[in-house]
Amino acid sequence: MEIVIVPDAAAGGALIAAAIADLLTRKPDALLGVATGSTPLPIYQALAERVRDTGLDVARARICQLDEYVGLPKGHPESYRSVVLREVVEPLGLTESSFMGPDGSADDIAAACEAYDQALAQAGGVDLQLLGIGTDGHIGFNEPCSSLASRTRIKTLTERTRVDNARFFDSLDEVPHHVITQGIGTILDARHLVLLATGEGKADAVAATVEGPLSALVPASALQLHRHATVVVDEAAASGL
Ligand code: GLP
């Protein structure tokens, strides 16, 4: 595992945006797995700026989603599909045709999960998967005790994650209880994993991920199993290392 300590979130965003730009230069139709939450926003801003400033042609890039809430109406502004379209796809000048994600409003959620897992493989696999980390060490929505070999499936959120994510909704009651998430095994299939963590609130989770034992209690520790995993942390998130 490669650990990169940067001064702040903006520096982390710029560094990772440069790595994505490099990937798209080498492989213009790369499949980029994106994460939601506040942490990756500086990456998406830096990438869009870079594309504008350098004229990098990203028209063939493909974007895929890591996870999704179950049960939000289609087009809900906080569905992860809407968030990724707004924060990543549109700023890059791409359209929905470049984008794939699990269907959180499907009648048959189990079938939607399996279909998404297969679609990722059929698309040739994820070239670079961006990850954030939950305060409890979750990646995607793989909460503690998720199987390290898990595939895309439905999960129930812990109360801690619902409270953490309530800031995106009008009230805690509106935060869905169920989600679809790429499994840890699915995430590990990506060719390069890049996790960004910023702020003191992530320090314990980062320390457990990087220096703790491999454990389903800390889903992000599964990055220790991957041959090409990069963890980018600001000074505050690195404070427990
Ligand atoms: C959610 C997402 C994760 C994300 C986490 C942390 O649970 N499913 O992918 O890493 O939030 O979000 P933030 O970056 O806002 O702390």
Residue range of the domain that includes 63: 2-234
What is d(CA 64, CA 70) in angstroms, rounded to the nearest whole number? 17
Closest residue CA from atom 12 of ligand 1: 37
In a domain, 200, yes or no: yes
Judge whether residue 18 has pLDDT over 90.
yes
Q: Which atom of ligand 1 is nearest to the CA of 140?
A: 9
CA of 226 from ligand 1 middle (Å) equals 20
In a domain, 241, yes or no: no
In a domain, 30, yes or no: yes
CA of 55 from ligand 1 middle (Å) equals 30
Q: What is the pLDDT of residue 37?
A: 94
Q: Stretch 62-77: mean pLDDT, rounded?
A: 95
Q: What is the pLDDT of residue 232?
A: 98
Under 8 Å between Cβ of 112 and 97: no
Ligand 1 pocket, residue 36 CB under 6 Å = yes
Q: Stretch 77-100: mean pLDDT, rounded?
A: 96
In a domain, 139, yes or no: yes
pLDDT tens per residue, range 191-214: 999 999 999 999 999 999 999 999
Contacts of 55 (CB under 8 A, 6+ apart): none
Q: Which atom of ligand 1 is nearest to the CA of 38?
A: 15
In the numeric block, the tokens 């909460």 are attached to 143
CA of 30 from ligand 1 middle (Å) equals 23
- Flag whether the ipTM exceeds 0.85: yes
In a domain, 239, yes or no: no
In a domain, 240, yes or no: no
For residue 27, give the CATH number of its domain: 3.40.50.1360
Under 8 Å between Cβ of 33 and 129: yes
Q: What is the pLDDT of residue 74?
A: 84
In a domain, 156, yes or no: yes
Number of domains in the chain: 1
